[in-house]
Chains A and B, each alone.
Chain A
């Protein structure tokens, strides 16, 4: 199984400041078609997960341009520019290259 490792696990951020979440995979997520099969999801308190980023860097429909995904191979980053109160929740990276699909442990973002 591909192991997904996120850091940090807890991320206190001042509103208006940027935030960075790292995700590393135990195997390359680069498909032969040239795309990285890596998605990001946000689970807000008391809610079900919602998609943010797919294929490493493409924003899902309706997602703010404050969210940006980058990286390739085994190293990926989710950047939130200008964190807002509504961004609070747990962020998960997920690999979709092979089954079983696996998620990172989650990064809990909180407002300072």
Chain B
């Protein structure tokens, strides 16, 4: 079955760095876009970044631009999130999520819609002095 397993979390001081990994199995990784979503302690979900199936399109939320880098290695079926210049407010559980594709019939053409159909169990990142 489809599995996403995050790793690389831990405790780091403000200004430090961490690299998260999301190891995947059970599907053709190179066919699917991927996201990172985080959740601060006791708070709601916050989208962090997205990478297209081939890495050609990448998007970030403003608060992590220039500090975080999303990447993927399709030969290793693995997604990454390099996090630099970490801040206390980056603390939380980080989830990787796979984008599933559904075909939809538009008014004049067919389209594809991609939603987060499988999520990992998450990995905790704590930024504290």
A residues with a Cβ closer than 8 A to B are 33-35, 37, 39, 41, 43, 47-51, 54-55, 58, 60-61, 90, 92, 94, 96, 99-106
Q: A92 contacts which chain B residues (CB < 8 A)? A: 44-45
Given the known A-B contacts A100-B61, A101-B47, A103-B45, are A49 and B107 also in contact in the complex, defined by CB atoms under 8 Å? no
User: Which residues on B sit within 8 Å (CB–CB) of A43?
Assistant: 45
Distance in angstroms between the alpha carbons of A34 and B109 in the assembled complex: 11
Please report the total number of B residues contacting A with Cβ < 8 Å.
29
Q: Which residues of A contact B102 (CB under 8 A)?
A: 54-55, 58
Number of A-B pairs, beta carbon distance below 8 Å: 72
List chain B positions with a Cβ less than 8 A from chain A: 35, 37, 44-47, 50, 59-62, 95, 97, 100, 102, 104, 106-107, 109, 111, 113-117, 119-122
Of the listed residues B46, B111, B115, the one surrounded by the most CB atoms of chain A closer than 10 A to its CB is: B115
Chain B residues contacting A55 (CB-CB under 8 Å) are 102, 104, 113, 115
Residues in chain B near residue A104, CB distance under 8 A: 44
Given known pairs A48-B122, A49-B119, the reply for A34 and B47 (CB within 8 Å) is no
